Chains A and B, each alone.
Chain A
């Protein structure tokens, strides 16, 4: 059943000097799954996701993304993944349309396909009227949805979202998650890190990270049942304090 696995790691680690930022994490993510990484700031979520995206070489351990090895097939991985980070990554001094076209170009899409994709994307996000205004003038929630759509331009099979909803109001956050569900329904695997407990509840499966290690993994309902608690927040606090 190899084809149904999108991400697989085996004792994946990364140290910075003496400090083990990620300490032997092993897990599997199935295709089309919404897989969450829950943890406090500094738990190692970002380091883990950066390794999976090929931005940071692992110190030791194994990982395959979309069937490709992180050490040997970095380029193939990059063609098949999308990435959106907590540090919002559009150019503020470019217009909405210029941003989309730029990232289309970086992924090597043809002119014709960039034009048609830009059109679809602007319509889907319902910001056709804003397409020629500078990105800096958009409200944060819109920027984040735009960044998300931009990172999906090249139809990746897996999308990595590193705290995508940081600093956004609850309504925008819920809208954002609606889009995440749409993406997953189309068969794209969503790998998301968060420290919002309510967002953790939305995931199909969840791994809780603490001090570089995965301390628990499973779907939100069974985790709550296992620890006999009402919310993921309680489960999280219980795990982190023990």
Chain B
């Protein structure tokens, strides 16, 4: 039995290393994704372009404007001639600015008279995310401005937030664990489903099956090389995200490794399951891409919080392996938690994996006969 499994493992490794194009994709894709997600896709916004309709033109109004332009979040777009409210929509349509600050002409006067002073901001909310950011940032600017000028104003409640686990609110802390979850799943499932459907397509599977080898031996022999490959990939993402973005691993690296192996095992079982359904390599590839990328990005909590999803989607998220692995990997990397906090999620993950493997092994033996 060991001899037969070893034979399969050795052959599988030859396939992997001889097909250097695929190998390059396996190695380069994670790094490319890390760089893309880490640098290009950030959830916080900077350099929001804005213009001003300053009807007051007083020292106070200029101070307010520089309060906006000097904090790094907003960039003032100078206008050759003063703009009016009628120009605003034009500016928004041309995407020159995303916000216009309107300061009324009685701004300074009403401030000195200690009256409530109204300032207007006009926001391009065609991207609702951007709109929300502009609102929040502007509020902060106004608060600072208020504190400086109305010292006598009694401030009963003052918010002093302290953010845990990601003090600078870096989105790379948020994305890197998610990316590891996505890439491990994608690569493990994809490679497994392709390697098995390829043998079915070529007819070599039939040749192996007339030998005394047991289907389970084939599965073990096929899975081991890809576990090590997936593992190598995970390590590479961790190291490169450490170097590029300083993403920490605050908890136990051993625990992370162990649970990552469980997750890879789930992904491989899933790939196996797909290979029992797909007839050709192309179909296997399409099915795997559809079944891994979309649910993992959208439903697992990778980007959107599960708690705010409709109940039906929340139910779906419970059978997606990435949902549990995300809690595990974020917990270990960012919060430094251990098995006492994670065992429920770890066992859920193991459960999904075992169910999938059982189903796949059964279907594997059945479909090969016909």
Interface positions of A (Cβ within 8 A of B):
53-57, 75, 78-79, 81-85, 87-94, 98, 101-110, 151
Q: Which residue of B lies closest to A102 (CB)?
A: B11
B204 partner, pick from A89, A101, A108, A109, beta carbons under 8 A = A89
- A108 to B190: give the CA distance in the assembly, Å: 29
Contact B210 A102 (CB under 8 A): no
CB distance from A113 to the nearest CB of B (A): 11
Q: Which residue of B lies closest to A106 (CB)?
A: B211
Please provide the chain B residues from 1 to 55 with a CB less than 8 Å away from any CB of chain A in the complex.
1, 3-4, 6-8, 10-11, 14-15, 18-19
B residues near A78, Cβ cutoff 8 Å: 210-212
A89 partner, pick from B4, B18, B207, B213, beta carbons under 8 A = B207
Is B246 close to A, CB under 8 A? Answer: no
B residues near A56, Cβ cutoff 8 Å: 369-370
- A84 to B203: give the CA distance in the assembly, Å: 10
CB distance from A149 to the nearest CB of B (A): 13
- A57 to B368: give the CA distance in the assembly, Å: 11
Contact A85 B212 (CB under 8 A): no
CB distance from B12 to the nearest CB of A (A): 10
Interface string of B194-232 (1 = CB under 8 A from A): 000000001110111111110000000000000000000
Contact B10 A102 (CB under 8 A): yes
Contact B11 A107 (CB under 8 A): no
Contact A98 B14 (CB under 8 A): yes
13 new A-B contacts, CB < 8 A, other than A85-B207, A102-B10, A102-B11, are: A55-B206, A55-B209, A56-B369, A79-B212, A81-B210, A82-B210, A85-B203, A91-B15, A91-B202, A94-B18, A102-B7, A105-B6, A110-B3
- A108 to B202: give the CA distance in the assembly, Å: 23
CB distance from B199 to the nearest CB of A (A): 9
A residues near B209, Cβ cutoff 8 Å: 55
Contact A108 B206 (CB under 8 A): no
Q: Which residue of B lies closest to A88 (CB)?
A: B203
CB distance from A59 to the nearest CB of B (A): 12
Contact A91 B208 (CB under 8 A): no
B residues near A85, Cβ cutoff 8 Å: 203, 206-207
CB distance from B117 to the nearest CB of A (A): 76
- A98 to B208: give the CA distance in the assembly, Å: 15
- A78 to B46: give the CA distance in the assembly, Å: 68
A and B contact pairs by CB, cutoff 8 A, 26 listed: A55-B210, A57-B369, A78-B211, A78-B212, A79-B212, A81-B210, A83-B206, A84-B207, A85-B207, A90-B204, A91-B15, A91-B202, A93-B14, A93-B19, A94-B11, A94-B15, A94-B18, A98-B14, A102-B11, A103-B211, A104-B7, A105-B8, A105-B10, A106-B8, A107-B211, A109-B3
Q: Which residue of A lies closest to B2 (CB)?
A: A108
Interface positions of B (Cβ within 8 A of A):
1, 3-4, 6-8, 10-11, 14-15, 18-19, 202-204, 206-213, 369-370
- A147 to B209: give the CA distance in the assembly, Å: 15
Contact B11 A75 (CB under 8 A): no
- A18 to B74: give the CA distance in the assembly, Å: 74
Contact B206 A87 (CB under 8 A): yes
B residues near A105, Cβ cutoff 8 Å: 3-4, 6-8, 10
B residues near A94, Cβ cutoff 8 Å: 11, 14-15, 18
B residues near A53, Cβ cutoff 8 Å: 210
A residues near B370, Cβ cutoff 8 Å: 56
CB distance from B226 to the nearest CB of A (A): 17
A98 partner, pick from B11, B207, B211, B212, beta carbons under 8 A = B11
- A173 to B339: give the CA distance in the assembly, Å: 66
A residues near B1, Cβ cutoff 8 Å: 108
- A56 to B211: give the CA distance in the assembly, Å: 14
**Residue of B4, B204, B369, B370 with highest tally of chain A CB at under 10 A:** B204
Contact A106 B206 (CB under 8 A): no
Contact B19 A75 (CB under 8 A): no
B residues near A87, Cβ cutoff 8 Å: 202-203, 206
Contact A89 B10 (CB under 8 A): no
Q: Known: A85-B207, A106-B208. Contact between A91 and B11, CB under 8 A?
A: yes
A residues near B213, Cβ cutoff 8 Å: 106
CB distance from A43 to the nearest CB of B (A): 19
Contact A83 B207 (CB under 8 A): yes
B residues near A54, Cβ cutoff 8 Å: 210
- A90 to B209: give the CA distance in the assembly, Å: 13
- A105 to B8: give the CA distance in the assembly, Å: 8
Q: Known: A105-B4, A107-B212. Contact between A89 and B203, CB under 8 A?
A: yes
Contact B19 A89 (CB under 8 A): no
CB distance from A198 to the nearest CB of B (A): 25
Contact B206 A89 (CB under 8 A): yes
B residues near A107, Cβ cutoff 8 Å: 4, 211-212
Q: Which residue of A lies closest to B6 (CB)?
A: A105
Q: Which residue of B lies closest to A111 (CB)?
A: B3
Contact A108 B210 (CB under 8 A): no
Q: Which residue of B lies closest to A160 (CB)?
A: B210
- A20 to B212: give the CA distance in the assembly, Å: 29
